[in-house]
Amino acid sequence: MKWISFLATPAIVAAMVTAGIYVKSHPLGRGYVAPADQVKGITLWDLIKSKNFIFLGTVVFLTTPTATNNTYTSDATWNNSNNSVEVIGAGGGGASTIATSTAVASGGGGGGYSKITNFSFATPGTTTATWQTGAGGAAVNRTTTGSTAGNAGGSTWFNNATDPGNGADNSKCSAQGGAAGGITASSGGAGGATTSSWGQTKFAGGRGGNNTTTGTRSATGGGGAAGFHAAGGNGVDVAANNTAAAGGQGDGSFGGTGGAGSTTNAGGNGNIATEWTQTSPSVNAGAGGGGGNACGSGSTGTAGTGGAYGGGGGGIAEATSGNVTSGAGGAGIVILTWTPAGAQSLVFDPTVMGRTFLAR
């Protein structure tokens, strides 16, 4: 689905919403977005004429299906000289443990972030690119005494058939997923690393919280995903049994906050960056916060899941046999943004606006 990205005063946004246009904050915190098919013709003409509205570009979010290669056909308005490709890797899942004196349950790492600019399609409107969004590390469940490590989050990439690894030109883009939460001391899952990602701008995901105790109820939260501002925050470290530990915040201080830790068997979920959601198609966006831990003396419990996109899942540690489940990691995302040729002149001279501009 194609969107437009823009800056506008609250009054303009309110008028758009009243007119039936679906307006939400940009998932990475840069102004607002609205479906392109709802903003066209005379509506866009009127908006661009307003000094309180600035058109920034066209945006496409690629989210599902995860963990499989998909093909994107370039838009006919794609501008090879004014665009960006951004990706966030998936978060790792947290670990799970029940009543063992030798293991802990750490949170998974947050996904990394990468960006390239001025990616070139040979023929916009025809040329395709292969992409894949990483699947969040799956939660792990235990019903008997023992410990199970989490699952790693998948990498996210654009314009390659496989994860391209480390690089810095604008021919492709990738961000590594977060590592799984572990079951030994100081085993918070590592965040997606810049050294295993491809981009001109790269930030690492936050690691899951570390444990410095090997007690029977020691768990930590997941790491936050990296974003376009900064690296993801680490999950809170734990040095004592039965301690609440929150997940890390995404994108430095700009992304989704980490879920709250719990000593009553239910960790809080990591938050998405701007509470930007929609149901058709299903999208939750932003540099997600890590899920909070869960620990206590009960027999059941669930740790917090990583926020969309890319937050690490929380670990869980309970004292008696029962049914305990760690937090899953948040999935990855690809974000394509471009300014169609001539759009900037339209902002300053709307009299030359083409009648088909963003009107398909």
Residue ranges per domain, the chain? 1-360
* pLDDT score of 268: 87
Lookup: tokens for 180: 């799984």
Instruction: Reply yes or no on whether the pLDDT at 21 is more than 70.
Output: yes
DSSP 179: P
State the pLDDT at residue 346: 47
Query: Percent of the chain having pLDDT more than 90?
Result: 57
Find out whether 325 and 303 touch, Cβ atoms under 8 Å: yes
State pLDDT tens for residues 45-60.
Answer: 888 888 899 988 899 9
Residue showing tokens 């990498």: 155
pLDDT at 115 over 50: yes
pTM of the model as a whole: 0.90
Strand, coil or helix: 167? strand
**Greater model confidence, 133 or 261:** 133
pLDDT of residue 347: 45
Structure tokens at 155: 């990498």
Model pLDDT for residues 270-299, shown as the tens digit of each residue: 877 654 444 433 333 345 666 666 666 666
| Residue-level length of the chain | 360
278, amino acid identity: Q
Residue with tokens 């997606």: 192
